[in-house]
Structure 1
Amino acid sequence: MARTAPKVERLAEDGEAMTDALSTVLAAAEENGTVTWGDVSDDLTSGEWGRLIESGLLIDADGEGFVIDDPDGVREALEESDAAPSDDDEGSGWSKWDKLAGLGTLGLFAGYSLTSVRDVIAGGVIDIVLGPLNDMLPFYVVILVLAIITGTTSTILQDNLMDMSGMGDHQEKMEDLKERRKAAKERDDQEALDRLEEEQMELMTDQMGMFKQQFRPMVWIMLVNIPLFLWLYWIVFGAGVDASPVITLPIFGEVEAWSNSVAGPVQAWIVWYFLCSLSFTQIIRKALNVETTPTG
Structure 2
Amino acid sequence: MPIDQLDVLLDTPSIREALTVIYERSDESTEELEWSDVRDALSSQQWGRLIEEGVLVSGGTGFVLSNPERIENALEQYDELEDEAESRIEPARWSTVDKAAGAFALALFAGYWSSGVQNAIASVENAVLGPVTTPSPSTPLFYCSRPSRVSTRRSYKSD
TM-score by length of 1: 0.26
Q: Which has the higher helix share?
A: 1
**Larger relative contact order (CA 8 Å, sep ≥ 6):** 1
TM-score by length of 2: 0.46
